[in-house]
Protein backbone atom coordinates (compact mmCIF):
# COMPACT_ATOMS: atom_id res chain seq x y z
CA UNK A 1 0.00 0.00 0.00
CA UNK A 2 1.15 3.55 -0.70
CA UNK A 3 2.88 5.45 2.07
CA UNK A 4 0.22 8.18 1.88
CA UNK A 5 -2.64 5.87 2.89
CA UNK A 6 -3.73 5.26 6.48
CA UNK A 7 -1.83 2.30 7.91
CA UNK A 8 -5.03 0.86 9.44
CA UNK A 9 -6.87 0.88 6.10
CA UNK A 10 -7.91 -2.60 5.00
CA UNK A 11 -5.32 -3.64 2.36
CA UNK A 12 -8.01 -4.56 -0.17
CA UNK A 13 -9.20 -0.93 -0.12
CA UNK A 14 -5.73 0.46 -0.90
CA UNK A 15 -5.85 0.28 -4.71
CA UNK A 16 -9.22 2.05 -4.78
CA UNK A 17 -7.98 4.66 -2.29
CA UNK A 18 -5.02 5.46 -4.54
CA UNK A 19 -7.32 5.79 -7.56
CA UNK A 20 -9.70 8.00 -5.55
CA UNK A 21 -6.89 10.35 -4.51
CA UNK A 22 -5.75 10.59 -8.14
CA UNK A 23 -9.24 11.67 -9.27
CA UNK A 24 -9.99 8.35 -10.99
CA UNK A 25 -13.31 8.15 -9.15
CA UNK A 26 -15.11 5.66 -11.39
CA UNK A 27 -12.13 3.33 -11.25
CA UNK A 28 -12.00 3.67 -7.44
CA UNK A 29 -15.70 2.83 -7.28
CA UNK A 30 -15.07 -0.28 -9.35
CA UNK A 31 -12.04 -1.30 -7.26
CA UNK A 32 -14.12 -1.13 -4.06
CA UNK A 33 -17.05 -3.15 -5.44
CA UNK A 34 -15.46 -6.55 -4.75
CA UNK A 35 -14.73 -5.56 -1.14
CA UNK A 36 -18.27 -4.25 -0.70
CA UNK A 37 -19.78 -7.51 -1.96
CA UNK A 38 -18.14 -9.49 0.87
CA UNK A 39 -18.43 -6.84 3.61
CA UNK A 40 -20.89 -6.93 6.47
CA UNK A 41 -22.22 -4.57 9.11
CA UNK A 42 -20.11 -1.43 9.72
CA UNK A 43 -17.53 -2.42 7.11
CA UNK A 44 -20.30 -2.62 4.52
CA UNK A 45 -21.54 0.88 5.44
CA UNK A 46 -17.97 2.15 5.22
CA UNK A 47 -17.27 0.72 1.78
CA UNK A 48 -20.72 1.69 0.47
CA UNK A 49 -20.08 5.24 1.67
CA UNK A 50 -16.72 5.32 -0.13
CA UNK A 51 -18.31 4.01 -3.32
CA UNK A 52 -21.04 6.65 -3.18
CA UNK A 53 -18.54 9.45 -2.54
CA UNK A 54 -16.56 8.34 -5.58
CA UNK A 55 -19.77 8.17 -7.62
CA UNK A 56 -20.75 11.68 -6.51
CA UNK A 57 -17.44 13.12 -7.67
CA UNK A 58 -17.52 11.19 -10.93
CA UNK A 59 -21.05 12.33 -11.73
CA UNK A 60 -20.20 15.92 -10.85
CA UNK A 61 -17.06 16.29 -12.92
CA UNK A 62 -17.68 13.81 -15.76
CA UNK A 63 -21.43 14.19 -16.21
CA UNK A 64 -22.10 17.70 -14.90
CA UNK A 65 -24.52 16.65 -12.17
CA UNK A 66 -25.04 19.32 -9.53
CA UNK A 67 -27.60 17.50 -7.38
CA UNK A 68 -25.04 15.71 -5.19
CA UNK A 69 -27.54 12.91 -4.61
CA UNK A 70 -24.85 10.27 -4.19
CA UNK A 71 -23.02 12.45 -1.68
CA UNK A 72 -26.12 12.61 0.50
CA UNK A 73 -26.67 8.86 0.13
CA UNK A 74 -23.06 8.33 1.26
CA UNK A 75 -23.71 10.39 4.38
CA UNK A 76 -26.51 8.02 5.37
CA UNK A 77 -24.06 5.09 5.32
CA UNK A 78 -21.23 6.99 7.00
CA UNK A 79 -23.58 8.19 9.77
CA UNK A 80 -23.52 4.63 11.13
CA UNK A 81 -19.79 5.01 11.87
CA UNK A 82 -17.62 7.02 14.25
CA UNK A 83 -15.68 9.98 12.85
CA UNK A 84 -12.67 7.69 12.50
CA UNK A 85 -13.22 4.29 10.93
CA UNK A 86 -10.79 1.87 9.31
CA UNK A 87 -7.99 4.33 9.96
CA UNK A 88 -9.77 7.04 7.92
CA UNK A 89 -10.76 10.46 9.22
CA UNK A 90 -14.35 10.38 7.94
CA UNK A 91 -15.19 13.89 9.08
CA UNK A 92 -12.31 15.25 7.01
CA UNK A 93 -13.18 13.02 4.05
CA UNK A 94 -16.81 14.21 4.02
CA UNK A 95 -15.64 17.84 4.14
CA UNK A 96 -13.03 17.37 1.40
CA UNK A 97 -15.53 15.67 -0.90
CA UNK A 98 -18.14 18.39 -0.26
CA UNK A 99 -15.57 21.05 -1.21
CA UNK A 100 -14.45 19.05 -4.26
CA UNK A 101 -18.04 18.89 -5.50
CA UNK A 102 -17.98 22.67 -5.69
CA UNK A 103 -14.43 23.36 -6.82
CA UNK A 104 -13.00 21.56 -9.82
CA UNK A 105 -9.50 20.20 -9.45
CA UNK A 106 -9.61 19.34 -5.75
CA UNK A 107 -8.58 15.76 -4.96
CA UNK A 108 -9.99 14.40 -1.71
CA UNK A 109 -8.16 11.44 -0.21
CA UNK A 110 -8.56 8.82 2.50
CA UNK A 111 -6.37 10.18 5.29
CA UNK A 112 -5.70 9.12 8.85
CA UNK A 113 -6.73 11.56 11.59
CA UNK A 114 -3.10 12.51 12.04
CA UNK A 115 -2.45 12.80 8.28
Q: What is the DSSP letter of 80?
A: T
Phi-psi region of 88 (alpha: psi -120 to 50; beta: other; left: phi over 0): beta
Listed as ranges, residues in the chain with pLDDT below 70 are 1-3, 115
Q: Residue 1 has what pLDDT? A: 45
Q: Residue 5 has what pLDDT? A: 82
CB neighbour class for 108 (10 Å; exposed up to 12, middle 13-18, buried from 19)? buried
CA 56 – CA 106 distance, rounded (Å): 14
All domains of the chain, ordered by start, with CATH? 11-102 (1.10.3450.10)
Q: What is the DSSP letter of 22?
A: T
Q: Residue 115 has what pLDDT? A: 66
Predicted TM-score (pTM) of this structure:
0.94
CA 71 – CA 79 distance, rounded (Å): 12
Amino acid sequence: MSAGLPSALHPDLGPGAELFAAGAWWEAHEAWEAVWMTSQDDERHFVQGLILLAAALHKRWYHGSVTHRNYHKALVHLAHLPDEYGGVDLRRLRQEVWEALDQEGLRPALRSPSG
